[in-house]
Amino acid sequence: MISLLSSSNEDFDVQLSSLISWEASSDEEVNNTVRKIIKEVKDKGDSSVLDFTSKLDLLKVKSVSELIIPKENLKKSFNNLDQKQKDALCVAAERIKSYHQKQKQESWNYTENDGTVLGQKISPLDRVGLYVPGGKAAYPSSVLMNSIPAKVAGVNELIMVVPTPKGVVNELVLAAAHIAEVDMVITIGGAQAIAALAYGTETIPKVDKIVGPGNIYVATAKKQVFGQVGIDMIAGPSEILIICDGSTDPDWIAMDLFSQAEHDEEAQSILLCPDEGFIEEVKNSIQKLLPTMEREHIIRTALKNRGALILTKDIAEAIEISNQIAPEHLELSVENPESILDDIKHAGAIFMGKYSSEALGDYCAGPNHVLPTSSTARFSSPLGVYDFQKRSSLIMTSKEGATNLGETAAILAYGEGLEAHAKSALYRIDKK
């Protein structure tokens, strides 16, 4: 059902490498299909979007404007929710907003002794596209996590695309769009939606950056339009890694492992623990609880394919292995998580203590749930306000500053064989 590994095994490194390996690239057929879709949307605009929406989503309309959901309908979707759902969305939105407001960067500058001013100007992106999976899937949390940081950053216009196969609209998603103050919602999806956002059409505005999760066609399209627009990341399957000292209820640990495994069959759930007896308890909890889960088949498959309970020599070795894996979600289910925090080098989000379940981070703790996967936490960070702001350098040299810097610049320019650069700097030197 789930692999039992030990770090003391001679071939453990090979076993671990095999366990965590995942190929993010799509196959050639998908690449070619997406490339054709993007070209058609780029060349034909609205008419191409309508054709793909009809063929792939079985939704036939005469104009793209009919696919735009009026803002009053978003508000109506929110009003139609029961009070508990309303309250939950509002609490989550407020916590996400409060957290991300602390990430907002401000412009700064300083003046040198000769009067030269140097600094940095922070500006929000003008327009951002948000992709949200649609149909039977409901991801209102993704709407909040992707749109609220953009709004906090000061993005002027947020365009959301969400497929509605056969016209099936998800009220929770629309309600979340209302709460998050999304400016435009268009009921299109797939690679054609990514292309429309990247290049613009007669009706759909061109955006500067595209964020949000999607299937293999959406991920491939984001990869192919990168450079034309910015993207957040190419996300792989969901991951959770738990370091536990054996002091947590084994049922809690089992359910935490399930919480990521239920996403899809390729999701990864790993436990690192130096207590062999506790690992056996977790294994028993998995066997006990798994038959009670609605998504039992998906969880079982994920645990079998990419799950593991790993016995380590001690907590220090568990940390070492965790840093090697660089997981999306890391739970430090130990008595004193603060004491080992400094040793954690690579993780998307770190949940500290046995009461900090990953599920809280997914929905309402406040930090973003859009996180680096597939070991990219070694060099990437969670989605945040900084992803929707850009930086411009500020240089204002005084007359004295131009003189002080000019000769230095000229020497370096001549060294590179760039005469015009050198003379441009030398022209401004005070020759008194």
Residue 47 has pLDDT above 90, yes or no: yes
Burial class (CB in 10 A: 0-12, 13-18, 19+), 317: middle
The confidence score (pLDDT) of residue 236 equals: 84
Does the residue 244 lie in any domain? yes
265 CB neighbour count, 10 Å cutoff: 16
Does the residue 293 lie in any domain? yes
The confidence score (pLDDT) of residue 135 equals: 63
What integer is the mean pLDDT of 116-133?
97
Does the residue 384 lie in any domain? no
The model's pLDDT over 249-302, given as tens digits with 9 standing for 90+, comes to 999 999 999 999 999 899 999 999 999 999 999 999 999 999 999 999 999 999
What pTM does this model have? 0.92
Percent of the chain with pLDDT over 90: 91
- Where among 365, 382, 405 does a domain terminate? 365
Residues 16 and 34 grouped into a single domain: no
Residues 312 and 186 grouped into a single domain: no
C-alpha 87/C-alpha 68 separation (Å) is 27
- Where among 231, 255, 285 does a domain terminate? 231
Contacts 24+ apart (CB under 8 A), 341-348: 343/316, 343/319, 344/319, 346/322, 346/375, 346/377, 346/378, 347/241, 347/322, 347/377, 348/372, 348/373, 348/377, 348/380, 348/381, 348/382
Does the residue 375 lie in any domain? no
The confidence score (pLDDT) of residue 338 equals: 97
Residue 136 has pLDDT above 70, yes or no: no
216 CB neighbour count, 10 Å cutoff: 12
The confidence score (pLDDT) of residue 431 equals: 77
The confidence score (pLDDT) of residue 22 equals: 78
The model's pLDDT over 324-357, given as tens digits with 9 standing for 90+, comes to 999 999 999 999 999 999 999 999 999 999 999 9
What integer is the mean pLDDT of 170-183?
95
C-alpha 420/C-alpha 68 separation (Å) is 53
What integer is the mean pLDDT of 132-142?
81
Residue 26 has pLDDT above 70, yes or no: no
Cα distance between the two ends of the chain: 83
The model's pLDDT over 145-166, given as tens digits with 9 standing for 90+, comes to 999 999 999 999 999 999 999 8
Residue 25 has pLDDT above 90, yes or no: no
The confidence score (pLDDT) of residue 84 equals: 96
For residues 224 and 38, the answer to whether their CB atoms sit within 8 Å is yes
Domain that holds residue 413: 397-426
The model's pLDDT over 197-242, given as tens digits with 9 standing for 90+, comes to 999 999 999 999 999 988 889 999 999 999 999 999 988 889 999 9
Q: Which two tokens stand for residue 426?
A: 């030398």
Q: Which residues are identified as catalytic? A: 328-329
Residue 24 has pLDDT above 80, yes or no: no
What integer is the mean pLDDT of 395-401?
95
The confidence score (pLDDT) of residue 383 equals: 97
The confidence score (pLDDT) of residue 23 equals: 67
For residues 165 and 393, the answer to whether their CB atoms sit within 8 Å is no
Per-residue confidence band for 430, with pLDDT thresholds at 50, 70 and 90: confident
Residues 39 and 186 grouped into a single domain: yes
- Where among 231, 258, 273 does a domain terminate? 231
Q: Which two tokens stand for residue 275?
A: 């207590």
Number of independent structural domains in the chain: 3
Q: What is the CATH number of the domain that holds 348?
A: 3.40.50.1980
